Amino acid sequence: MAIASVARSERLDARVTREEKETIEEAARLRGTSASDFLRMAAKEAALHTIRENETLTLTQNSRRVFVEALLNPPAPNEKAIAAAKRFKREIA
């Protein structure tokens, strides 16, 4: 079964200590991959994890209750909100 190869044209560089390099090389060896592939995969996993953490809204129990209540029963718009909606409609139309 052939695995499709993706062209990698972008480059990232990082300076590491000797200890960090040895650790990365050992981990790569244990996974049966090159240090470069290990770094690429580990960095991508860490990046995706960080992105997911920042896309998730975490609320306390009370904040969650207030948020859901506002969604289910939104307050009537005040004068500033009405004026902003009118400006938006004029600029978009």
Residue 67's contacts (CB-CB under 8 Å, 6 or more residues apart) are 59
Whether the Cβ atoms of residue 24 and residue 38 lie closer than 8 Å to each other: yes
Q: Which residue has the tokens 């990232």?
A: 12
8 Å CB contact between 23 and 38: no
For the question of whether the overall pTM of this predicted structure is more than 0.85, the answer is no
User: What ranges do the domains of the chain cover?
Assistant: 17-56, 61-93
d(CA 52, CA 42) in angstroms, rounded, equals 15
pLDDT string in tens for the chain (93-residue length): 555 677 889 998 999 999 999 999 999 999 999 999 999 999 999 999 999 999 988 899 999 999 999 999 999 999 999 999 999 999 987
pLDDT per residue as tens digits for the range 56-78: 888 999 999 999 999 999 999 99
The Cα 28–Cα 38 span in angstroms is: 5
CA distance 17 to 20: 5
* Closest to 27 in 3D by CA, of 38, 12, 19: 38
